[in-house]
Amino acid sequence: MTKINPFKPNSPVPTAMFAGRINEVVALEKGLYQTKLGQPATILMTGDRGIGKSSLLLFLKAVAVGNIKSPEYENFDFLSIHIPVSDKLDIGTLLKLIERNISREIGKVESIRSFVANTWSFIQRIKVMDSGVSAAEVDSEVELQLDQFSYSLAETCKRIVKPERGENKKDGILFLFDECDNATPLLRIGYFFKTVTEALQRQGCDNVMFVVAGLPDTPEKLSISHESSVRIFTPLKITELSLADRIYVIDKGLEAGNKLNVEQTTISDAAKDQIAALSEGYPHFIQQFAYSAFDHNTDGEISLEDVFDSAFKLGGAIDAIGNSYYASAFNEKIKSDEYRQVLSIMAEKMNSWITKAQIRQSFTGDDSTLTNALQALTTRKIILKNPSKIGEYRLQQRGFALWIRLFGKRNRDKK
Ligand SMILES: Nc1ncnc2c1ncn2[C@@H]1O[C@H](COP(=O)(O)OP(=O)(O)OP(=O)(O)O)[C@@H](O)[C@H]1O
Ligand SMILES: [Mg+2]
């Protein structure tokens, strides 16, 4: 009988399987509490691919709407609005999306329906700016739109925090903006946050919390449209899971699996430790190694051998990790084996800085090839050049470095 595999390498983790991140959860819950009391929190969550940003946002959402009780506080009851940012999103569409979410969430209540419709009616008049409009005209139109938007948001928030006609009282509004590294200049995302948070404050609306998440280059995306917008945020960096948390992720996953399946599965301590070590704390890697080992296992106990075989085999965990995140950067953007060799050498230091001289020691090609490789990899944004130290480079992401190391090991083991 095929068992249902509980591990989730390709989607944010369901709240029941969410593990660890105690400090981050405490910080976010504190933000909710303060926002409820009128000291609104504005948080910028950054971290590598697959480190667990979206999962943490989903967990926060569950706490905010009262589906999960925080051990510290009474149940929260926020209105929560989740916006995944894509590279197609412009500011007009963003405002419409928010309006639609608000109408959907609170427009259901009869007594508030006409209030919502009236307060947000300006949305129907948002113009599509065609190419004939001058930049100055676009700017002033956006300014007017944001002014109306902030007013409508403030009125809506005040109404649900202090309801007038027997509606349920809410704690405030929580905005979750995910994947903000996708933002293009058309979204004016930094300008949006700066303008809206200031306008809300002016209008005495103190119960709106913004959480903005994305890859580590998100701050740069914010500063394109407003240089100082990053300063309004409290930074929250998401890093690798501790060893204990990695084990907890595996235990929680298996526990969920054993609820779903009649046939039970266990795992040896050595197998767990190996998954924890291979993953280096990347939850995405833990889920994938555990998924593949669960899949590979036939006798009900996941052993060290199951972990190794399923990780390194063709089509195994490492291939899957590469296919979902890194293979295109490694194989398609880079056509030369020598360039790939440079990346492998750099990956030995994960994503720490390494000098050209250090790379040269292990590189088998000639000097001009190395120079060209470093230049091409920098231009393609696969590696970063140290702006304050000449001749130093590093890989952009630890996850990518880890994958190159494991992938290289797989290829060596195959030979
Ligand atoms: N706290 C956690 N407990 C268990 N599994 C987790 C946790 N956080 C993340 N994961 C798992 O790690 C993987 C990546 O998580 P997630 O999608 O949240 O990361 P991300 O940082 O949003 O990635 P991306 O940069 O690609 O958007 C998923 O498989 C998810 O199930
Ligand atoms: Mg994500």
pLDDT over 90 at 173, yes or no: yes
Residue 190: count of CB within 10 angstroms of its CB: 26
pLDDT digits 0-9 by tens, 196-215: 999 999 999 999 999 999 99
Same fold, 243-312 and 320-414: no
Query: Which pLDDT score, from 0 to 100, does residue 415 have?
Result: 54
pLDDT digits 0-9 by tens, 73-103: 899 999 999 999 999 999 999 999 999 999 9
User: Ligand 1 within 6 A of 283 CB?
Assistant: yes
Mean pLDDT of all residues in 156-166: 87
Query: Which pLDDT score, from 0 to 100, does residue 253 have?
Result: 95
Residue nearest to atom 23 of ligand 1 (CA): 50
- What proportion of the chain, given as a percentage, has pLDDT over 70? 98
Over the range 24-34, which residues count as b (16 or more CB within 10 Å of their CB) and which as e?
Answer: bbeebbebbbe
Domain 243-312 fold is: Helicase, Ruva Protein; domain 3 (1.10.8)
By three-state DSSP, how is residue 94 classified? helix
User: Ligand 1 within 6 A of 51 CB?
Assistant: yes
User: Ligand 1 within 6 A of 45 CB?
Assistant: no
Residue 375: count of CB within 10 angstroms of its CB: 11
Distances (CA, A) of 140 to 99, 131, 144, 185, 330: 21, 16, 6, 16, 43
Q: Greatest CA separation found in the chain?
A: 77
CATH code of the domain made up of 21-237: 3.40.50.300
Quick one: pLDDT band at residue 274, thresholds 50, 70, 90? very high
By three-state DSSP, how is residue 235 classified? strand
Mean pLDDT of all residues in 244-257: 96
Question: Nearest ligand, CA of residue 290?
Answer: 1
User: Ligand 1 within 6 A of 20 CB?
Assistant: yes
pLDDT over 70 at 362, yes or no: yes
Quick one: pLDDT band at residue 286, thresholds 50, 70, 90? very high
Residue nearest to atom 31 of ligand 1 (CA): 13
- 382-391: list long-range contacts, CB under 8 Å, 24+ apart: 382/329, 382/333, 382/334, 382/343, 383/343, 383/346, 386/353, 389/353, 391/355, 391/356, 391/357
User: Ligand 1 within 6 A of 340 CB?
Assistant: no
pLDDT digits 0-9 by tens, 30-51: 999 999 999 999 999 999 989 9
Helices marked H in 134-268 — which ranges?
Answer: 135-161, 189-202, 218-225, 243-260
For the CA of 19, the closest atom of ligand 1 is: 3
| Residues 6+ away with beta carbon under 8 Å from 192 | 91, 94, 146, 225
Most confident of 70-74, 113-117, 142-146, 212-216: 212-216
Q: For tokens 């009851």, name the residue.
A: 77
The pTM (predicted TM-score) of the whole model is 0.90
CATH number 1.10.10.10 is the correct assignment for the domain at 320-414: yes
Query: Which pLDDT score, from 0 to 100, does residue 129 have?
Result: 66
Pick from 298, 253, 400, 284: nearest CA to 340: 400
| Separation between Cα atoms, residue 43 and residue 60, nearest integer Å | 12
Q: Which helix (H) or strand (E) holds 378?
A: helix 367-379
Where residue 179 falls (left for φ over 0; alpha for ψ -120 to 50; beta otherwise) is: left
DSSP string across 259-313: HH-SS--EE-HHHHHHHHHHHTT-HHHHHHHHHHHHHH--SSEE-HHHHHHHHHS
Domain limits of the chain?
21-237, 243-312, 320-414
List the shell of residues around ion ligand 2, using CB closer than 5 Å. Answer: 53-54
User: Ligand 1 within 6 A of 8 CB?
Assistant: yes
pLDDT over 60 at 316, yes or no: yes
Q: Which amino acid is it at 324?
A: S
pLDDT digits 0-9 by tens, 135-144: 788 788 889 9
Q: What's the gap in Å between 407 CA and the centre of ligand 2?
A: 23
Residue nearest to atom 19 of ligand 1 (CA): 52
Q: What's the gap in Å between 24 CA and the centre of ligand 2?
A: 16
| Separation between Cα atoms, residue 181 and residue 57, nearest integer Å | 15
